[in-house]
Chains A and B, each alone.
Chain A
């Protein structure tokens, strides 16, 4: 794999195996497990390679246990790879050099670094001191981020008294206090309500625009991925099976688009069969599945041949497509 100097993150043939013990159920299994424990290596990530440029927002998609979080943990230096190479801005993450640690941050949904019984402000000042920020710098930075995250007096209330959304935003504030240029976000909107999710998303997008920070994100919410990540990396059973832009993924997953038509008068089924695959036909409403390359012609013909009140073209929902993809395990 040839490195381009403009690549910020280079992952080359990266693998991680976890050693786990296998225990059979029952008393016999327990005794056997105690006296003769059998362990074996489980591959979490196998031979994964990709590169990421500065300022990119990349979404990691995969079912539970696919290996995306393990990948993120190796890239931020939390765990050591079994084989392969990771380079982040010229650093080997697992060495955890101070200069590297000052450039990155890791946010894990529902895992907190804030001190539970104290207000977030106390934890923020600890972080500021640890990262070598003066009190004045810390104050300016806290105000700036608090404004972006719409946090006010919540910062002086004990963490245990905050709502999940307020806590998550405070966690993000704590994680970004030192102006990291690479953000590793593992399920940052996990458990948040729709409004709180939207606020976190808009903050991350704004942060990326303002600072040019590179963001690597895993999420089970497709809305996070579609709103933030022009590029996605799909991991399935520890292996990379798609790396590219989200639109192309949607096209390759679904080569057709839905065309919904509302007609002035009812028409029969056979009148529509030549335009595309009929998904639904109900009195004056018809839903057709039309391949993308024929879409313009079909729409034009429909408008000419029928008296149409309304026409809507849409993609099948991306989360439905991705769900099918994980079951199928490959991209067309």
Chain B
């Protein structure tokens, strides 16, 4: 059986090995999961200032949105640019380039394994949130959960491709993590991590919707929290961004490896 041109055995072995590797760092991953509490800080800030109505949400809606944003973030967080840069500078990339497997697929496996490791911590944090805010408790329906799961994975794919695009600049600049900051700032403001996008003026919102960022947090979080959202246009936009980014990453990668100098190896 082959999935995306890869044999099931490759996928299974990569994922199980990476999962074993991530379990070696379970404390670190728990801390990473805890460090992603920005949506809760924002929730606390907005709810105390009673601006929920401005966002078109009551306190319960606001709480559910930010918990959903936290969960979506946990399963769509990407760090490929940092790993890739380190591997590229230390020479670890060299053996990967000489194996019949695209090096980026190793990073995909590492991210998926890390997501699996984060799962129990994310659930524990969600339970704690409900204990502290019992009125915000809700259980999404199965179709809602499925759509949220799907859109979160598509969000992860977009984020991964965006960072891979930046990571490929390592072949030119060596320190491409500095370029990642250029993505991080618009990501922070336009993804819905700090504030639901409904809070934006319509002109800014229109502009934001032309970027990939609202589909990284806002769209999946709205599905999960049960807020009204145009599901078909959201998924269409996610697929569109993936279709644009895949060939771009491919082209940049092919141009980049020609410049690879195998530093440190």
Contact B98 A96 (CB under 8 A): yes
Q: Does B265 contact A (CB under 8 A)?
A: yes
Contact indicator A105/B98 (Cβ below 8 Å): yes
Partner-contacting stretch, out of B13-21, B125-133, B191-199:
B13-21
Q: Are A113 and B24 in contact (CB under 8 A)?
A: no
Is there an interface contact between B20 and A129, defined as CB atoms closer than 8 Å?
A: no
Give the contact-size bracket for chain B: 20 to 34
The answer to whether the Cβ of B101 comes within 8 Å of any Cβ in the partner chain is yes
Q: Are A127 and B99 closer than 8 Å at their CB atoms?
A: yes
Give the Cβ gap from B5 to chain A, nearest Cβ, in Å. Answer: 11
Is the C-beta of B9 less than 8 angstroms from some C-beta in chain A?
yes
Q: Which of A77, A106, A113, A134 contacts B92 (CB 8 A)?
A: A113
Q: Determine the chain B residues whose CB is within 8 A of the CB of A123 once the complex forms.
A: 17
- Shortest CB-to-CB span from A182 to chain B, Å, is 11
CB of A131 closer than 8 Å to a CB of B: yes
**Interface flag for A144 (CB, 8 Å):** no
Q: A78-B260, A118-B17 are in contact. Are A113 and B100 (CB under 8 A)?
A: no
A117 contact set on B, CB distance < 8 A: 21, 24-25
Q: Contact at A115–B21, with CB atoms within 8 Å?
A: yes
Query: Is B258 an interface residue when CB atoms closer than 8 A count as contact?
Result: yes
With the chains together, A76 CA to B96 CA distance in Å?
Answer: 13
Give Cα A96 to B100, complex, Å. 8
**Which one of A117, A129, A132, A175 has the highest number of Cβ atoms from chain B below 10 Å of its Cβ?**
A129
Q: Is the interface of A mostly helix, strand, loop or mixed?
A: mixed
Tell me whether B98 and A104 are in contact (CB under 8 A): yes
Whether the pair A115, B260 counts as a contact (CB closer than 8 A) is: no
A79, B17: Cβ atoms under 8 Å? no
Q: A122 on the interface (CB 8 Å rule)?
A: yes
Query: Within the complex, which residue of B7, B13, B17, B262 is in contact with A78, where a contact is CB–CB below 8 Å?
Result: B262
Q: B13 contacts A126, CB within 8 Å?
A: yes
Please indicate the chain A residues that have their CB under 8 angstroms from the CB of B231 in the complex. none
Cross-chain contact B13 with A125 (CB below 8 angstroms): yes
Cβ of B201 within 8 Å of any chain A Cβ, yes or no, is: no
Report Cα–Cα, A101/B97, bound state, in Å: 9
8 Å CB contact of A102 from B20, B92, B100, B261? B100
Chain A CB within 10 A, most for which of B7, B260, B265: B265
A126 touches B24 (CB 8 A): no
Q: Which A residues lie within 8 Å of B97 (CB)?
A: 78, 96
A23 on the B face (CB < 8 A): no
**Known contacts A108-B91, A117-B21; A78/B14 CB under 8 A:** no
| Chain B: minimal CB distance from A19 (Å) | 9
Of chain A, the residue at the smallest CB distance from B94 is A78
Residue in contact with A130 in the complex, picked from B10, B12, B260, CB distance below 8 Å:
B10
Q: Specify which chain B residues have a CB less than 8 angstroms from the CB of A108 in the assembled complex.
A: 91, 94-95, 265
Closest partner residue, chain A, to B14 (CB atom): A126
Apart from A80-B259, A101-B98, A129-B10, list 18 A-B contacts with CB within 8 A.
A78-B94, A78-B97, A78-B98, A78-B265, A79-B260, A79-B262, A80-B258, A96-B98, A101-B99, A102-B100, A108-B265, A111-B94, A113-B92, A122-B17, A129-B13, A129-B14, A130-B99, A131-B99
Q: What would 24 A/B residue contacts be, using CB atoms closer than 8 Å? A: A76-B98, A78-B98, A79-B260, A79-B262, A80-B258, A98-B100, A102-B100, A106-B98, A108-B95, A111-B94, A113-B92, A117-B21, A118-B21, A122-B20, A125-B13, A126-B14, A126-B17, A128-B13, A129-B7, A129-B9, A129-B12, A129-B14, A130-B101, A131-B100
